[in-house]
Structure 1
Amino acid sequence: MKRWHGLGRLGTAATALASVVVLAGGLDFAPVSPAMAAGMPGPGHDIPGRDTETKRSTLPPTDAPGVFGAGVGSHLWWQRFTRARRAPGVAPPPPMVYVGGQTVGVRLFTRGLLVVGFQRVGPQGESPAAAADVRIGDRIERVNGALVRTVDDLRRLIHLGGPQVWLTLRRGRETRRVCVRTVTDVAGNRHLGVYVRDKTTGIGTLTFFDPLHRCFGALGHVITDVDTGEPIEGSGALYPAEVTGIMRGEPGRPGEKKGHFVFPQRVMGEIEENCEFGVFGHMERPPAHLYLPRVIPVARPDEVHDGPAMMLTVLHGQRVEAYQVQIERAVHQSVPDTRSMVVRVTDPRLLREAGGIIQGMSGSPILQDGRLVGAVTHVFLSDVTRGYGVYAAWMVEEALRTAQHPRAGWPQAAWLPARTQKGAVLGTRVAV
């Protein structure tokens, strides 16, 4: 996860410094380097996910076709719009989407096994992998030339490899091969002395579904690993989920949704992209539990303004409800950026039940003037009634880009059933 900058501090005015928390409930996110938002000063930090054994979530459906003008073609809708503004005539119609608000279970598999730590093994009490220059953040993609997708794959190939194995690693954009001498324990099991992770699981909120291109957007921010702080490269799936409880937020302690996967074997959508604007991919049909049974237009960034708006999210079960919010500041953006607006919760019931914006609301759609204008992404630690949002236009642009150039599914293990369990985050690291 990223560190963000916010407005306001505990009990002070909006010009002071503030911490901001990413809102995806349970996802294994970790802080990364600070980033400065133009016109939004102040250092911030995230609350990392907790290591447990599963995740939670909640999500619904939709139904009906939408209109996207001339289609995606070779240009995205925003690019077509900006060209049209320079020329006489009418701008092309905006994308038409079903708005979400449903809580969804997210399971994201890494591409290769992510190294998240080292373990001392053998009589020397050292890590053979660390001695061979394996580093935290490396991804183990092959062992002796054989593809590795799961922890079980790695264990099996190490056992078959003998006293030393060749690991193919991905480090940033580089591919490296290193030779590691394994250590055998008293039970005959071979070890590399590393902690690895092959997946991350949690809950967030679906933002929209485009029925014309059968693509979706959710979360509104990148998923990063809890240990390395790096964005997770890979693919996965969305699952139906429901909210079973709410931990109310307070200044200095953001609240969170508690929930679980409802149908752990039912895949709602295929995650093909994890980037700074959220997770995107393919969805065959509208999700269940729609708040609006029809498509609505996506607002251009210059159509979003300060003033009243509505946020859709789930507080109980799978029921999507609307809550009053105020867009306190809509930032002028002509190019995509993640910190598009400052939002404040004004709805009395949401304030009473949740205290404001809580973890698990990440991706909750924001509607204004009958359009989808954005999604909630972060909460201010100093004032949990306020947070950041990203323009929906930037999320739709990423969804269409992904729909045009889908990545090959990786790994197939992403379609394994998700375990149903209440609680927060999963993404347990395993020693090998």
Structure 2
Amino acid sequence: MDYRKQKVPALLLVIIFLGLCLQLPFQFLQNIPLHQRVLVGEKINLELNLPTFFTNQFKFEIDGLKPSTFYLGETAPVAAKPGDLRVEVKLFGLIPVRQMMVSVVPEVKVIPGGQAIGIMVDTEGVMVVGRSSIIDDKGKRHNPAADAGVELGDILIQINGQRVETEGQVRDLINNLGQSGKPLKMVLISKNSNKPYNTTVTPIFCNETKRYRVGLFVRDSTAGVGTMTFYHPETRSYGALGHIITDIDTCQPINLNSGKVVGANIEGIRMGKKGHPGEKLGVFRAEEEITGNITRNTNCGIFGRLDKDPKNIYSKKAIPVAMASEIKEGPAEIYTVIKGNKIEKFSIEVQQVMPNGKAEGKGMIIKINDPRLLAKTGGIIQGMSGSPIIQDNKLIGAVTHVFVNDPARGYGVLAEWMLYNSNTILKHVGARKNEQNDDRGIIACLKQRK
């Protein structure tokens, strides 16, 4: 009998068995974020929800903490002071399988929002939102801009060296310059690469409009209703909306040139239904106490400064901004307006936390379970974006998107991400902490990580 032939299948079975045993913990390891933030005085939370069998298989080595090593099932050390900590994850305490960075940051407190706000944005240049054929005097159809490679979502910023900022300015320039019969030199920003490119377009006299055209429809501004998420009294900085502002026709992010927020009153509700998202019907109130600018338009919301402290608030008490590791599945609340300018509190459930979804601003899945809110809105509706989510008296995020086929459920962005996208608050906190502490090493860990 050839024993070698019997050993080969047995060895393969052992390898397959070991592979299956290790597959589960390695799948969980992939869910560990490469970068995690914790607050000063908090435990380094690296809970992976692994079965008990695996908890003592993973060893963590952290530079700068005592004890510097611990296993998954053991009590994690506490981060005593601000700084960046490098973490090495080792299987069986020997085999390196993962590296990550833990930033220990000071606690930041903000006043939760919930106010309805009007959002007005002026774009950089004008956005191409449509194209149409031009019929010449012989009845022939043309589209010079399309032939020149101009695409929907591109941003037109110059015509013959002159910067353009409004739809009317573009229309008049093309008509006046087109009378010379010469091609126009245009500079645009590509929606794909976000880089400028040059092209030439020859206007054609349109028989229908009786003016020279190139076959483009453009838009120079946008407006809508949203919700303020938080306000930082010391800097008058705010965060709102929870997602990036995009053009309604092209769905492309808007290149912000300038913008402002004002107070708004909710005059009506269009209820959400399966397949048909609802919306808040609001009226801008420029004379209201909320006025401010917009300085940033990001995947995690819009940010800027208010001209004065808002008086319409649900609670005057500032609450901490929770780190991603502090958020848990279970009950929570949102603040939002469904009539007039009155901020109300409604119950929701956090169904899933997704700390790796930052690129799309989708950090959690939430479900509206408050009977009164469901009766009024049908669930999450347009205009509710930015409504702050509170859990255990901490700001954990903001409502962002609705599931079209299930209006009671949708996504939320994490408050931690919004805080770091504000680009103001943490710099202020860092400067203040530095004044109170002579340890210059604190400065580095308080810089915004991009």
Residues 1:120 and 2:120 aligned together: no
Equivalent pairs, count: 332
Secondary structure at the aligned position of 1:394 is classed as: helix
State the partner residue of 1:424: none
Deviation at 1:183, TM superposition (A): 2.1
Higher strand share: 2
Deviation at 1:379, TM superposition (A): 1.7
State the partner residue of 1:183: 204
Secondary structure at the aligned position of 1:357 is classed as: coil
Higher helix share: 2
Change beyond 3 A, Cα 1:158–1:81:
farther
State the partner residue of 1:94: 107
Output the amino acid matched with 2:218. V
Deviation at 1:81, TM superposition (A): 5.5
How does 1:366-385 map onto structure 2 within 5 Å?
366-385=389-408
Deviation per CA, 1:286-312, whole angstroms, max 9, x where unpaired?
Answer: 334100113211111111112221100
CA distance in 1, matches of 2:357, 2:202: 53
Change beyond 3 A, Cα 1:220–1:335:
closer
Please tell me whether the aligned partners of residues 239 and 261 of structure 1 are also in contact (alpha carbons under 8 angstroms): yes
State the partner residue of 1:169: 188
State the partner residue of 1:64: none
Output the amino acid matched with 2:201. V
Please tell me whether the aligned partners of residues 248 and 358 of structure 1 are also in contact (alpha carbons under 8 angstroms): yes
Residues 1:254 and 2:277 aligned together: yes
Deviation at 1:400, TM superposition (A): 2.4
Residues 1:394 and 2:447 aligned together: no
Relative contact order (alpha carbons < 8 A, sep ≥ 6): 1 or 2 greater? 1
Please tell me whether the aligned partners of residues 237 and 267 of structure 1 are also in contact (alpha carbons under 8 angstroms): no
Deviation per CA, 1:35-66, whole angstroms, max 9, x where unpaired?
Answer: xxx99xxxxxxxxxxxxxxxxxxxxxxxxxxx
Deviation per CA, 1:386-409, whole angstroms, max 9, x where unpaired?
Answer: 22111111011101269969xxxx
Deviation at 1:317, TM superposition (A): 0.4
How does 1:271-282 map onto structure 2 within 5 Å?
271-282=294-305
2:366 equivalent among 338, 343, 349: 343
Secondary structure at the aligned position of 1:313 is classed as: strand
Change beyond 3 A, Cα 1:351–1:188:
closer
CA distance in 2, matches of 1:334, 1:130: 36
Change beyond 3 A, Cα 1:348–1:267:
closer
Runs of 5+ unmatched residues, structure 1: 1-37, 40-75, 406-432
State the partner residue of 1:139: 155
Deviation per CA, 1:156-212, whole angstroms, max 9, x where unpaired?
Answer: 322442333211111133322222212234676321221111112111111011222
Output the amino acid matched with 2:326. E
Moved more, 125-134 or 191-200: 125-134
CA distance in 2, matches of 1:268, 1:373: 25
Superposition CA RMSD, Å: 3.0
Which of these two proteins has the greater Rg computed from alpha carbons?
A: 2
How does 1:264-303 map onto structure 2 within 5 Å?
268-303=291-326
Please tell me whether the aligned partners of residues 77 and 94 of structure 1 are also in contact (alpha carbons under 8 angstroms): no
How does 1:10-409 map onto structure 2 within 5 Å?
78=37, 87=65, 89-90=80-81, 92-123=105-136, 124-161=140-177, 162-164=180-182, 165-171=184-190, 172-185=193-206, 189-234=211-256, 235-263=258-286, 268-333=291-356, 338-400=361-423
CA distance in 2, matches of 1:348, 1:177: 55
CA distance in 1, matches of 2:384, 2:400: 8
Please tell me whether the aligned partners of residues 307 and 326 of structure 1 are also in contact (alpha carbons under 8 angstroms): yes
CA distance in 1, matches of 2:275, 2:201: 45
Please tell me whether the aligned partners of residues 112 and 149 of structure 1 are also in contact (alpha carbons under 8 angstroms): yes
CA distance in 2, matches of 1:386, 1:202: 22
Secondary structure at the aligned position of 2:349 is classed as: strand
CA distance in 1, matches of 2:228, 2:420: 16
Deviation at 1:78, TM superposition (A): 4.5
Deviation per CA, 1:258-288, whole angstroms, max 9, x where unpaired?
Answer: 1111228987221122121111222233334
CA distance in 2, matches of 1:215, 1:334: 25
